[in-house]
Chain A
Amino acid sequence: MKKLFLTVLAHIAVSSAVCAACSSLLLPLPELVPGAEGGYKALRALLLFLDWLPASAGAGFLVGAAVSLGGVEGGAVRRFRLVVLSSLACVFAVFFSGEVVRPVVSASIFAAEAAPRVFRTFLDLGNRCFQNGNMEMALRYASEALAVNPADEEARKLRENAVSLGNAEVDVPHSRQSAPAEEVVTAPEPVDVNYSWHETSGRSAEELLRKAEEAELDGRWIDAHYFALLAASTAGEGTELRRKARLQAAHYWGVLREPVELSDTPEMRLYRLKKAAYTQMSTGDNVGAYFTFREMLETNELARDDPDVKKFLALVTERLKRTSFFTDELENLRKFESRRNVRFSVPKADGSVDVVSVRGVTPVRESGRSVQYLRGLSVFTFGSGGEFVRSVYAPFARLTFEDAALLPEAERAAWGVGPLGEVPFVMLHGLDSKIRGREVRPVATFADGAEGVCPETLLLALGREDYEMLCSASQGERLLSPGKLWSLFKRASGFGYAAEPFGAQLLRCFAYPLFLLVLFIFLAKIAWNNRVEPGLVFKFKWIFVLPVLTALLYVAVSLLDYAVRTLSFAFVASFGASAVVAALIVGLAGLLYVSTSFILHAHDGD
């Protein structure tokens, strides 16, 4: 047994050295990001070695068995036990390296080979945006290029230029503070806001109306209007209370809209700003109100002491976060993308289909919830006949899982979402939390002749587990674990994936080790047939049979692997889940045949 293992290990070691030498010397190095050559060469040598591992392990096993089995006493069964144990060890080693190590290595190699092209694409785009004066996008592309190749001078210079020129533009809005305030005073009527529980704080409509009247007495018209609107939304539909609250609110709004005396004291300026910001807030311009309140806090000394400003800033921030998200950290999050090129389709009850494509997904924990930031989200909607209806593209989006029962009925109906379970809720509108004007907005396209509004949020009509499962499906079936393969095999069709490749890969997980075991026991039988007689001296030149056998086995293993793959796929496609039974039958029949054939012949007289 020891001699056998020593032979196998020695041969594997020699093969690995040969592979390393061949791959470094013979294979040309493709274009790579500078600094990545050493790692790439090592990975490629490793991949070559893993390709040849089944053959070199098999050849080592064959020769080792031929050399050592002759000397093993004790009859056929003892020899068989030895053979089975050593076969199992070899099969495990080969299988582990092939199924676990190899996909990781080949994925790294693929990424390294793609990196220069990706880098060039981003750098060219960044330069083009820079020349067109679009500093925002130039900065974004330069950052992405640097993420691929951190040492490149050109990309770094582009990024610095974009940042400095971009900031110069961004300083301008601060001096425009007063102007929008004046414009907005003539704005339209306040819109109905969907107040969250946080704002009403569980207070009843009467309480809120009373607070409004108190504020009126104090001359705090902004607070009065705010509480009156809150009371109106909390009161029941069609009640007297609601009508009264609405009337009060309209009255307060009228007062607010009256032009104020043109005195220019600091308090008056603050009041005008507060009024302007509140008007923005009431008319639904949460973004404008947010920045106006922020700028007030930053630049106006009186505002810093004014509790109203802080209170309303908090309120409007909370309203904003229900439909939009902040993009400050998105550049850094890119490094933590856990999935790329996620794609799936979502069938809806009315027969239409949403086809979703995401360039990158970054999961993050925010205040205890799991949140995902999506880069490059596209959603195409096709009708029940496959005709195009609408597409929405957002450069960045934020995805959370919300309980469908708590979402508004209208929004659920628009996206075909049922009332049960947790569904992905995606915000498409992002903004920088500190700098006004830096927003990412979605873009919608409609079928020829149709018109519509670009949505700012969207829902996906599938459950949370299905969504997570489909994110992992995009990696391709060769990189997934058996548990994921099984759930994909059961549920993936309908979401744009055929079930058969997953089933075939899962089947191969069981069939391949079984076939390797059959192969190794078969090799042991050949070794026994051609064993070195106990009295025979081993000539050194016989070592040269090893490379010959390795080459022969390599071709044989490739052919047999192709046969196993074909059979797995065909069985899964014909028999579905019961293909595993058919494969087990075939495998066990093979195992039985080689085992009995070995035991019958492995006695001393043969």
Chain B
Amino acid sequence: MKASVSLVISFVFLCVVGTAACAALYMVSLSLHSFVAGGGLELASRGLFVRGAFYSAPGVCVASLVLLVLRIIRRRDVSAFGSVLSFVLYVLIGCTVWGVALPRLFSLEAGLAPDEGVPALSPATPGYFRVVEDSFVYYSRVLPDGTADGIRIGRFGGPGSVGRFSGGPAAACDEPYSDVLVRDAVRPSPFAARPVRIYEALLSAAREGWRGGRGGWLEFASMGLALLSLYSLRFSSRWRLWCASFVVVGALAVVCVNYAFVAGKIPAVPGIPFVGGFIDGALANLPAFVRDRPPAVCVNVLVAGALSVYGAGCAVVGTIRGRAEEGEE
């Protein structure tokens, strides 16, 4: 009993702390967008923090659910009753998150002003060397109308590569950063930028689903169903690290597949003629209710179904084997 309560508490704790940390990081990141060399930086901003909280809370809650599975996996010496209890708790928490918490979050977020707290781009400051494309650019002065005088030093030498310009555009910014110096110091590697992009695409798909009423939300929540069913993977191996890795990889796979559907990277029907015709024929036999749903939903439901069957099977086999061992003793 105590273990189960601690499960719930640790889940809530993880959600709150995770959201706060991510919101703080979001706030710091965005405040750098308005920073220019020679200017100061306003770090704390309530508007940005709140935006960051709404931006990261859905992701943090879903990730905490996955971590909850890992936590359940790592528990030892659990009786059958304890195992069933934790499963029930898990399902309850999962349904609460996907059915109640997330829609509530989105409705709260809709009440926010669209650009509240987002910093504006600052104009370039003169007197600093910046790397712009293939050369070093120095602005000696920046006029109020946005033009600048200065010099440009080409990186690779040769005559004419060091030249003066006057009345050129003061182009020290590179969306979303106001100053390329910040971009060069802080730029994420491609491997860090891609997960952020995936998350943002799924977040906007979630918002759209929520706006589509209950039906729309349920379609998006099919991803949640697939994620929740990853619980079955805890039976996949004797070694807990293997199960834990499997769960994490499974979660990432579900997310990536859903992203692929959202970003339109998978066509509705495969282009191969014979197989396409076959799939068309098969689809025609299904009831209209199923056929009209987007393919992502079908894939999610299929995955959830398969995993649930697997999990139930493992549980049944495990119980029978346990009874048999008990019976022998």
By the criterion CB–CB under 8 Å, are A530 and B244 in contact? yes
- A574 in contact with B136 given A527-B241, A530-B244, A565-B185 (CB within 8 Å): no
Whether the Cβ atoms of B128 and A497 lie closer than 8 Å is yes
For A569, the chain B residues whose CB sits under 8 A away are 32, 182, 185-186
Query: Which residue of chain A lies nearest to B41 when distances are taken between CB atoms in the complex?
Result: A573
Which of B195, B241, B252 touches A63 (beta carbons < 8 Å)? B241
Q: What per-residue 1/0 map shows which CB atoms of A557-586 lie under 8 Å from chain B?
A: 011011101110110011000000000000
Nearest B residue (CB) for A503: B185
CB distance from A131 to the nearest CB of B (A): 16
Which of the residues B32, B38, B155, B248 comes within 8 Å of A552, measured between beta carbons?
B248
- Closest chain A CB from B69 CB (angstroms): 13
Contact of A357 among B126, B128, B151 (CB under 8 A): B151
Report B-chain residues with C-beta under 8 Å of the C-beta of A344. 129
Given contacts A63-B241, A125-B159, contact A561 B41 (CB under 8 A): no
Q: Assign chain A's interface to a size class.
A: 35 or more
Q: Complex: how many Å from CA A477 to CA B129? A: 13
A501 touches B181 (CB 8 A): yes
B248 and A530 contact, CB distance less than 8 A = no
Q: Which residues of A contact B42 (CB under 8 A)?
A: 574
Which of B74, B192, B243 neighbours the largest number of chain A CB atoms within 10 Å of its CB? B192
Cβ-based interface call for A393 (8 A): yes
Encoded as 1 (CB less than 8 Å from any A CB) or 0, chain B from 22 to 45 comes to: 000100110110010110111100
Binary CB contact string for chain B from 119 to 142 against chain A (1 if under 8 A, 0 otherwise): 000000011110000001011111
Contacts of A574 in B (CB 8 A): 40-43
Q: Which residues of A contact B76 (CB under 8 A)?
A: 606
Instruction: Give A574 Cβ to nearest chain B Cβ, in Å.
Output: 4
**Cross-chain contact B127 with A353 (CB below 8 angstroms):** yes
Contact with B along A520-561 (1 / 0, CB 8 A): 000000110111100010010010010011001011001101
- Kindly provide the distance from the CB of A445 to the nearest chain B CB, expressed in whole angstroms: 8
Contact A565 B140 (CB under 8 A): no
Known: A387-B141, A529-B74, A542-B239. A504 touches B185 (CB 8 A): yes
**A292 at the binding interface (Cβ < 8 Å):** no
Q: Is B184 an interface residue when CB atoms closer than 8 A count as contact?
A: yes
What are the 5 closest A-B residue pairs judged by CB atoms, nearest first? Answer: A386-B141, A498-B37, A530-B241, A573-B41, A530-B240
On chain A, the residues within 8 Å of B140 by CB distance are 353, 355, 380, 382, 386-388
Which of these, B25, B128, B141, B156, contacts A566 with CB under 8 Å? B25
A284 to B42, CA, bound (A): 61
> Whole-angstrom distance between the alpha carbons of A559 and B189 in the complex?
9
Q: Is the interface of A mostly helix, strand, loop or mixed?
A: helix
Report the separation of the CA atoms of residues A565 and B189 in the bound assembly, to the nearest whole angstrom. Answer: 11
State whether the Cβ of A213 lies closer than 8 Å to any Cβ in chain B. Answer: no
Contact A391:B74 (CB < 8 A) given known A565-B185, A570-B43:
no
Interface residues of A in 339-354 (CB under 8 A from B): 341, 343-345, 353
A82: chain B residues at CB < 8 Å are: none
Residues of chain B at the chain A interface (Cβ within 8 Å): 25, 28-29, 31-32, 35, 37-38, 40-43, 73-74, 76, 126-129, 136, 138-142, 149, 151, 153, 155-159, 162, 164, 166, 181-182, 184-186, 188-189, 191-192, 195, 237-245, 248-249, 252
Known: A500-B185, A536-B239. A554 touches B191 (CB 8 A): yes
A118 within 8 A of B: yes
- B164 close to A380 (CB less than 8 A): yes
Docked complex Cα distance between A380 and B74 (Å): 67
Number of A-B residue pairs, CB cutoff 8 Å, is: 163
Listed A/B pairs (27) with beta-carbon separation below 8 Å = A125-B159, A343-B138, A343-B153, A357-B151, A357-B162, A378-B151, A380-B140, A385-B141, A386-B139, A388-B149, A388-B166, A477-B185, A497-B129, A498-B38, A500-B37, A500-B181, A501-B184, A504-B186, A530-B74, A530-B244, A536-B238, A539-B239, A549-B245, A558-B192, A562-B188, A570-B28, A574-B43
Instruction: Give the chain A neighbours of B185 by CB distance below 8 A.
Output: 477, 500-501, 504-505, 565, 569
Q: Give the residues in chain B near A558, CB-CB below 8 Å.
A: 188-189, 191-192
Q: How far apart sit A322 and B186, CA to CA, in the bound complex (Å)?
A: 48
Please report A residues at the B interface, Cβ cutoff 8 Å. 62-63, 66, 114, 117-118, 121-122, 125, 341, 343-345, 353, 355, 357, 359, 376, 378, 380, 382, 385-388, 391, 393, 477, 493, 496-498, 500-501, 504-505, 526-527, 529-532, 536, 539, 542, 545, 548-549, 552, 554-555, 558-559, 561-563, 565-567, 569-570, 573-574, 606
* Nearest opposing residue in chain B for A508, CB measure: B185
Partner among A121, A500, A555 whose Cβ is within 8 Å of the Cβ of B156: A121
A122-B158, A565-B185 known, 11 other contacts, Cβ within 8 Å: A118-B157, A345-B138, A353-B127, A386-B142, A386-B149, A387-B141, A500-B37, A526-B241, A545-B241, A558-B188, A559-B195
- Contacting residue for A542 out of B28, B142, B186, B242, CB 8 A: B242
A505: chain B residues within 8 A (beta carbon): 185
Q: Are A565 and B162 in contact (CB under 8 A)?
A: no
In the bound complex, how far is the Cα of B61 from the Cα of A402, in angstroms? 67
